[in-house]
Amino acid sequence: MKVGIVGSTGYGGVELYRLLSNHPEVRECVLYSSSLDGTPYTEQYPHLYGISEQRVHPIDEEQMKGLDVVFLATPSGISKKMTPGLLGGQAKVIDLSGDLRLKERGAYETWYHGEAAPADTLERAVYGLAECNGRSIRDAELIANPGCFPTAVLLGLYPLAAAGRIKPGSVIIDAKTGLSGAGRKASLAGHFAETQENFRIYKVHEHQHTPEIEQQLHEWALDAGPITFSTHLVPMTRGIMATIYVELKDPSSTEELLASYREEYDDHPFVRVRPKGGFPGTKEVFGTNYCDIGLSMDERTGRVTIVSVIDNLMKGAAGQAVQNMNMMFGWHETTGLHHYPIYP
Amino acid sequence: MKVGIVGSTGYGGVELYRLLSNHPEVRECVLYSSSLDGTPYTEQYPHLYGISEQRVHPIDEEQMKGLDVVFLATPSGISKKMTPGLLGGQAKVIDLSGDLRLKERGAYETWYHGEAAPADTLERAVYGLAECNGRSIRDAELIANPGCFPTAVLLGLYPLAAAGRIKPGSVIIDAKTGLSGAGRKASLAGHFAETQENFRIYKVHEHQHTPEIEQQLHEWALDAGPITFSTHLVPMTRGIMATIYVELKDPSSTEELLASYREEYDDHPFVRVRPKGGFPGTKEVFGTNYCDIGLSMDERTGRVTIVSVIDNLMKGAAGQAVQNMNMMFGWHETTGLHHYPIYP
Amino acid sequence: MKVGIVGSTGYGGVELYRLLSNHPEVRECVLYSSSLDGTPYTEQYPHLYGISEQRVHPIDEEQMKGLDVVFLATPSGISKKMTPGLLGGQAKVIDLSGDLRLKERGAYETWYHGEAAPADTLERAVYGLAECNGRSIRDAELIANPGCFPTAVLLGLYPLAAAGRIKPGSVIIDAKTGLSGAGRKASLAGHFAETQENFRIYKVHEHQHTPEIEQQLHEWALDAGPITFSTHLVPMTRGIMATIYVELKDPSSTEELLASYREEYDDHPFVRVRPKGGFPGTKEVFGTNYCDIGLSMDERTGRVTIVSVIDNLMKGAAGQAVQNMNMMFGWHETTGLHHYPIYP
Amino acid sequence: MKVGIVGSTGYGGVELYRLLSNHPEVRECVLYSSSLDGTPYTEQYPHLYGISEQRVHPIDEEQMKGLDVVFLATPSGISKKMTPGLLGGQAKVIDLSGDLRLKERGAYETWYHGEAAPADTLERAVYGLAECNGRSIRDAELIANPGCFPTAVLLGLYPLAAAGRIKPGSVIIDAKTGLSGAGRKASLAGHFAETQENFRIYKVHEHQHTPEIEQQLHEWALDAGPITFSTHLVPMTRGIMATIYVELKDPSSTEELLASYREEYDDHPFVRVRPKGGFPGTKEVFGTNYCDIGLSMDERTGRVTIVSVIDNLMKGAAGQAVQNMNMMFGWHETTGLHHYPIYP
């Protein structure tokens, strides 16, 4: 297997490189970037000094078509242009950007403020939420890898949504992320002195992951209604927690709900449902592809509080992309992803 | 004025000391602790070396009764025993613990897992939410200083609640705090290596500030219903953000809501209502007594998202306690509290 | 008193604003920036919302000349051009940049890689190390405010150097700083995700504060020799620690050395010499103008280890600048600088 | 292979568990603790939920003697008592504590303030500095695994010391560590609110790693003299940087020195000597067994500045312990240690 990473200089790209370089089925990993032309990768990432002797190549679509898989770890707006061409080759494509996730072109235009990808490209893209869309993923040639927040949120809601148990319009999601989610580009918002000792909310009611969550949620439960979705920045590097509040059509108990989650995820090694009273912190999945879930039914209010945590660069980006590759090629989904959390 | 601080070795105590030592109306500040007997304060807090030559004295109720004000910055369980005796003297008492906040003794016993304070003591205690209960505070001899979370949450809800605009049962509060809120006692949960790069939820559906919020909320709006309240630990030292989700009885707009908040808080210098589109981060109130509020009406869901931030040791504890003292003695409420945020 | 701050949008500028707005002798504080023209200051710094209604004005040298003091909190390269013109007016000038600190123009050119300020401007500039050069500062019209590292280092060495006790060539300084020292401009090196959990060295043997330290050191002790000086970045916002290793011409003891430091700094309220065995951490001076010093003689090696900590934005920049203003105008040096450390 | 970890509930223990569970030659890993009796390991470390089903067993020396290797990841004072008994069995022993590192019993007693291990046990212990003592390690039955600071420092000095190039008495080491080095036991010094935004020095001239460094240094270079050694706490979890200042007997250049380091470490995959002008940050080795080294000759002072970084829990503890195990059993030293740094 020979794979390519476009956007290799970003955080998603370098995390893909870490995973793919140690993947037993991958023989070679070619690095691309729109801004570099032959620079050693270690100039961008000195932590790879002595490990990687690779250079970063300019984009070359013809060459990429001949690879087995192309990972697009690019900002929004690139993949919608590049993917149609790539699909003519032999390479399967896994797009980590938001360009191919929304099926309705109008939704993309509303939330991403730009023109959507061609309709036929969107049609071919399979939404790569690995634990839920396995069948389609196995047959896919083009994966729209889920966003970091949608991954945490949707895995937290799936067992309730798929069973039609959610009371319409009751879903509220309060999400928190570390700074690496904002990428490597220097900005005032990501400046250390502005970030340390600062907990902030951002893009209130305007986050582009809102329609992505709703699209999948409504596929499972047409009546789930619109969601309220907030995103916050935590002064840490990696990790997402989604705290999800939801009402049920029919009352239940913490025990019953946990049992249904455990059953749903029984065959899914990357989802760890915690026992009653246990709630995961983000550090407990640091550096891994796990999604950890805890929940509790509040008898005072009748609401369920669900906590779902992931490492945004792993299960929320590169890790799930590799999991998708594994499934597309018929390997076990955990291949190359057997990491233990780094703790502490 | 001669004041005393009981529990002076904790974080609330040392913050009180910072404020009271620089307060123009306070001539002397006596430090007490149940565990120390004459130790120089700088042994506990070397940052005061060369500033403070005070010693920490053992508890002496008779002596305390002769002071003008006694601040109780003690853990839960102390004040309920100490306050009844103190009230026989000339000292006014400001209790920063949770012992005297809940009017119903049963609620205390349910949420604090211990016996409540005597009924007559509870009756005399005025809930010191400075911006809302000013009239009672001015006449009070005993203040139950609000909890850190309740302060942020209640100030965020007050204009809606007092106007009877909240849809019953719709209030969900997702709160986040820095670590100093947990006090100075060493614990695994507060250990640096367990905390850094870790965002955690705790006491799910069991936080003792829940009934405190509901008690005040229901005083304003009897029909507001039970709240859903979650608390999280952010890897930072100071700061609380409450993200509050609420539905209104009658629809409105962001502009109208902001206008009503501005009107409500017009005469309250410590509440800063941000302009439309502006949301405060916790660092913007660092080291000050401000409560900053931003909000937005989400037209897609009809829900309002309200963000309220404070410094938990200031407006959430020592700062509000001093503000209460100011009001009890007829000084301007900002006396000794003119700090600018430390930024960055 | 009417003062101006040039470079008001940087961290040094906003810290000056915090201090000067609360300074009892300052009636008005005008803000300047080379890049803004009338923008409200709160657009740059929302933490001042409701506190400051000021706007940031474009540079206007004629207007500035009429002020009482102009603070130049600008990057290197601005002050050397602007100061000569300003000195023709009534305003005294306090320059926080490195432009006017080095008396030898060649040294500036070697270490700053640009042309030095005019010789006559350099001649008029008094090096504003407040505790050591008080006499000259009181008569000065132009202050070259010391760099952050030189302040910590020189105060740590002064009692030994002034007494001629340092063994030539033996001074090694290992300095560490928080990120705010690098300013507010977004950069990859200051990006949160690159900084958190990262301790780095930078500008090895090339830091521009090296000749500044040597210049003053050699004024005290001509034979002190060249210094070895290293600078490191700590994942924190504020604070500098200089760990200084030095050999003495004649052996001594920790006690004797501490006594000589205490004597030297007895009349200097901002220098706190710790008792034997006590060493300050950076948090113990957070938000204040203190320089805290601890030291120990190592009998095994005959070397002295001196630890000196400051808040880089206060004693290392804005705080010392205000202290210099106080001295230039004959006020007590602590005027407007009575802050307690924010702890925790 | 069946191995045991004593002290499995500490940070060194859980890091060993992460490595040994994924080690291709290790079939089973038994966990011991002096304080637990059959508790599931995930109660201590919930991040292992769903990964580990192991329980922590009480100490059982007889059982341990039958294992292939016993790792002692215990605090000082345990191993000196336990090791003599263990050595009678078939198990090889790798001790991560400081008990067996100092050959002179008097030195232990001076620096560790307790009785030293029996002389014959000390005699059998091989100092496991993997890159330098390979021959003895391969034949050893008992390894004294080096301390975290000594590992970084000694690897930084080895090429100069072994070549006899160090000017006697010229070595000064300014070392910095993350908080995990202090272990998992809750303490005020490790409390988050005391640590964040705080850079501190500790154990000035009294750190117990001083004699360990000198012992090995003097084995290489009898005339190297005593060292000055300082240790600091950085507000981060993992990582050590040693900044080392040294004078040479004969002058040299950065280029020549780097070439000699590269030659010395050519066959040692875990030591990465950086190119001229490149200096590693601690994050560049996060989660790995690398020791990264950069250096520069300062022509102004004739001193060399050497920077050596490691992850204190990996190369500074568990990683090197596994590397030693690999060498003792004749496997390639990198077996089970092929981690890429987690970045960012």
> In angstroms, what separates the C-alpha of D226 from chain A's closest C-alpha?
33
Q: Residues B175, B230: one domain?
A: yes
Chain A residues bordering chain B (beta-carbon distance below 8 Å): 169, 172, 174, 176, 178, 193-194, 196-202, 204-205, 226-228, 230, 232, 234-239, 241, 243, 245, 279, 281-283, 286, 294, 296, 298, 300-301, 303, 305, 307, 309, 344
Shared domain check, A115 and A165: no
Same-domain pairing of D153 and D276 = yes
Q: Which of D197, D227, D296 sits opposite C204 (nearest CB)?
A: D296
Backbone φ, ψ for residue D126 (5° rounding)? -100, 130
Alpha carbons D325 and D321: distance in angstroms, whole number:
6
CB < 8 Å to D22, chain A: 338, 340
DSSP D5-19: EETTTSHHHHHHHHH
Structure confidence at residue A129 (pLDDT): 98
pLDDT digits (tens, 9 = 90+) for B158-194: 999 999 999 999 999 999 999 999 999 999 999 999 9
Together in a domain, D168 and D114: no
Rounded CA separation D59/D79 (Å): 12
**Cis status, amide bond into C344, omega within 30 of 0:** yes
Share of chain B above pLDDT 90, in %: 99
CB atoms within 10 A of CB A263: 11
* D78 inside domain: yes
The two beta strands, A69-72 and A92-95, are parallel
**Residue A52, domain CATH:** 3.40.50.720
For residue B238, the distance in angstroms to the closest alpha carbon of chain D comes to: 8
Q: Rounded to a whole number, what is the distance in Å from the CA of A134 to chain D's nearest CA? A: 22
The one catalytic residue in D29, D132, D148, D291 is D148
Q: Going by C-beta distance under 8 Å and a sequence separation of 6 or more, which residues neighbour residue C116?
A: C80, C102, C105, C106, C108, C109, C122
Q: Are C96 and C12 in contact (CB under 8 A)?
A: yes
Instruction: Tell whether D132 is covered by a domain.
Output: no
**Is C174 close to D243, i.e. CB distance below 8 A?**
yes
Report CB contact under 8 Å: C49, B272: yes
- Residues of C near B (Cβ–Cβ under 8 Å) read 11, 14, 18, 21-22, 45-51, 180, 184, 196-197, 237-238, 269, 272, 274, 278, 280, 283-287, 290, 292, 338, 340-344
- Best to test chain A binding among B195, B197, B293, B299 (most A CBs inside 10 Å): B197
Q: Residue B317's pLDDT is what? A: 98
- The length of chain D is 344
pLDDT digits (tens, 9 = 90+) for B188-233: 999 999 999 999 999 999 999 999 999 999 999 999 999 999 999 9
Nearest CB to B179; choose among D188, D192, D237? D192
* Termini Cα distance of chain A: 35
CATH number at residue B207: 3.30.360.10
Identify all chain C residues contacting B312, using CB atoms and an 8 Å cutoff.
none
Q: Which helix (H) or strand (E) holds B231?
A: strand B228-233
Across the interface, which of A11, A179, A191 has its CB nearest the CB of C190? A191
At residue B283, what is the residue type? K
Among B170, B164, B159, smallest CA distance to B295 is for B159
Of C47, C238, C344, the CB nearest to B341: C47
Instruction: Name the minimum distance, in Å, from the CA of C200 to any CA of chain D.
Output: 4
Alpha carbon of C188: minimum distance to chain D alpha carbons (Å): 12
Which three-class secondary structure state does DSSP give residue D306? Answer: strand
Instruction: Looking at the structure, tell me whether residues D154 and D233 fall in a common domain.
Output: yes
Q: Which residues of A touch C192 (CB under 8 A)?
A: 179, 190-192, 195-196, 235, 237
- Other CB atoms within 10 A of residue A225 CB: 17
C312: chain B residues, CB-CB within 8 Å: none
CA distance A229 to chain D (A): 27
Check C287 against B50: CB less than 8 A apart. Answer: no
**pLDDT on residue A187:** 97
Count of structural domains, chain C = 2
B33-51 confidence digits (pLDDT tens)? 998 999 999 999 999 999 9
Instruction: Give a yes or no: residue B107 inside a domain.
Output: yes
> Which chain C positions have a beta carbon within 8 Å of D201's beta carbon?
241, 243, 279, 281, 294, 307
SS3 B203: coil
Residue with tokens 């520069």: D296
Residue-level pLDDT, tens digit, chain D, 344 residues: 999 999 999 999 999 999 999 999 999 999 999 989 999 999 999 999 999 999 999 999 999 999 999 999 999 999 999 999 999 999 999 999 999 999 999 999 999 999 999 999 999 999 999 999 999 999 999 999 999 999 999 999 999 999 999 999 999 999 999 999 999 999 999 999 999 999 999 999 999 999 999 999 999 999 999 999 999 999 999 999 999 999 999 989 999 999 999 999 999 999 999 999 999 999 999 999 999 999 999 999 999 999 999 999 999 999 999 999 999 999 999 999 999 999 99
Instruction: Supply the pLDDT for residue D300.
Output: 95
Q: What is the largest CA-CA distance in chain D?
A: 62
Evaluate the CA torsion angle C76, C82, C87, C93 in order and state its sign. negative
Amino acid at A290: Y
- For D248-268, give one letter per residue: b (16+ CB within 10 A) or e: beeebebeebbebbbebbeeb
The separation between CA C69 and the C-alpha centre of its own chain, rounded to angstroms, equals 18
D162 and D289: one domain?
yes
Give the tens place of pLDDT for each residue, A28-50. 999 999 989 999 999 999 999 99
Distance CA C200, CA B252 (A): 52
**Residues in B touching D11 (Cβ below 8 Å):** 193
Same domain, C53 and C199: no
Residue A306's DSSP bridge partners are A244, A295
Instruction: Tell me if A99 sits within 8 A of A117, measured CB to CB.
Output: yes
Q: Which residue from A15, A21, A25 is spatially nearest to A53, judged by alpha carbons?
A: A21
| D292 and D153 in a common domain | yes
DSSP string across B251-319: ---HHHHHHHHHHHTTT-TTEEEPPTT----GGGGTTS--EEEEEEE-TTT-EEEEEEEE-TTIIIIIH
Asked if residue B90 belongs to a domain, the reply is yes
User: Do B67 and B1 meet the contact criterion of CB atoms below 8 Å apart?
Assistant: no
C22 neighbourhood in chain B, CB within 8 Å: 338, 340
- Can you read off the two tokens belonging to residue B18? 């910072």
State the DSSP string of C67-88. Answer: SSEEEE---TTTHHHHHHHHTT
Average pLDDT of the segment spanning A288-305: 97
What is the count of residue pairs from A and D with beta carbons less than 8 Å apart? 80
Q: What residues of C are in contact with residue D294 (Cβ under 8 Å)? A: 201, 204
State residue A266's pLDDT score: 97
* Residue where the block lists tokens 């790569």: A128
pLDDT category at B256 given cuts 50, 70, 90 is very high
C254 confidence band (pLDDT: 50, 70, 90): very high
Residues of A designated catalytic: 148
Residue A51 structure tokens: 């490990």
Q: Hey, are the CB atoms on A344 and D238 less than 8 Å from each other? A: yes
Minimal C-alpha gap between C220 and chain B (Å)? 27
pLDDT band, very low/low/confident/very high, at C74 (cuts 50, 70, 90): very high
How many interchain CB pairs under 8 A, B with C? Answer: 80
Task: Give which of C11, C69, C57, C67 is closest to C32, Cα–Cα.
Answer: C57
Taking CB atoms and an 8 Å cut-off, how many pairs form between chains A and C? 57
Predicted local confidence at residue C277, as pLDDT: 97
Binding-site residues on chain B for chain A (CB distance < 8 A): 169, 172, 174, 176, 178, 193-194, 196-202, 204-205, 226-228, 230, 232, 234-239, 241, 243, 245, 279, 281-283, 286, 294, 296, 298, 300-301, 303, 305, 307, 309, 344
Residue of C nearest to A185 (CA): C188
pLDDT at C314: 98
- Is the CB of B301 less than 8 angstroms away from the CB of A245? no
Spatial CB neighbours of A341, under 8 Å, sequence gap ≥ 6: A283, A284, A285, A286, A287, A288, A290, D47, D48
Q: Mean pLDDT over residues A69-92, rounded?
A: 96
pLDDT value, residue A193: 98
Measuring CA to CA, which residue among B29, B9, B13, B33 is closest to residue B21?
B29
Chain A residues lying within 8 Å of C177, measured CB to CB? none
DSSP state of C314: I
| Last residue of one domain, picked from the residues C124, C157, C181 | C124
Question: What band does B4 get if pLDDT is binned at 50, 70 and 90?
Answer: very high
Q: Which of B47, B184, B280 sits opposite C341 (nearest CB)?
A: B47
Q: With respect to residue D219, please indicate whether it lies within any of the assigned structural domains.
A: yes
- pLDDT in the model for residue C57: 97
DSSP letters spanning A172-238:
EEEEEE-GGGG-SS--STTBHHHHTT--EEESTTT-THHHHHHHHHHHH-TT----EEEEEE-SSSS
In this complex, do B272 and C18 lie within 8 Å of one another by their Cβ atoms?
no
Look up the domain containing C25 and give its range.
Answer: 2-124
Both structure tokens of A121: 């490209």
Contacts of D313 in chain C (CB under 8 A): none
Pairing of strands D69-72, B92-95: unpaired
Q: Is this prediction's ipTM beyond 0.95?
A: yes
In a domain, B132, yes or no: no
- pLDDT recorded at residue A150: 98
Give chain C positions within 8 Å (CB) of A196: 179, 192, 235-237
Tell me, what's the pLDDT at C279?
A: 98
Asked if D243's CB is within 8 angstroms of C201's CB, the reply is yes
Indicate whether A17 and A94 sit together in one domain. Answer: yes
Do D73 and D172 have their domain in common? no
> Do D282 and D162 reside in the same domain of the chain?
yes
Decide: residue A37, CB within 10 A, 0-12 exposed, 13-18 middle, 19+ buried.
exposed
Residue-level pLDDT at A200: 98
- Report pLDDT for D67: 98
> Same domain for D283 and D166?
yes
Position C81 scores a pLDDT of 97
The enclosing H or E element of A86 equals helix A79-86
> Are B21 and C48 inside 8 Å of each other by CB?
no
A283: which chain D residues are within 8 Å (Cβ-Cβ)?
A: 47
Query: Which chains neighbour C (Cβ–Cβ under 8 Å, 3 or more pairs)?
Result: A, B, D
Centre a 10 Å sphere on the Cβ of residue C40 and count the other Cβ atoms it contains: 16
- Which tokens belong to B260? 């009503």
Average pLDDT, chain A: 97
Give the DSSP H/E element, type plus range, for residue C326: helix C319-328
Q: Is residue D215 part of a domain?
A: yes
Q: What is the per-residue pLDDT for D44? A: 97
CA D46 to chain B, closest CA, distance in angstroms equals 12
Looking at residue C339, its pLDDT comes to: 96
Q: Report the residue of chain C nearest A192, measured CA to CA.
A: C192
Looking at the domain assignment, is residue B330 inside a domain?
no
Is residue C126 within a helix (H) or strand (E), and if so which, with residue range?
strand C126-127
CA A90 to chain centre: 25
For residue D37, give both structure tokens. Answer: 């009796």
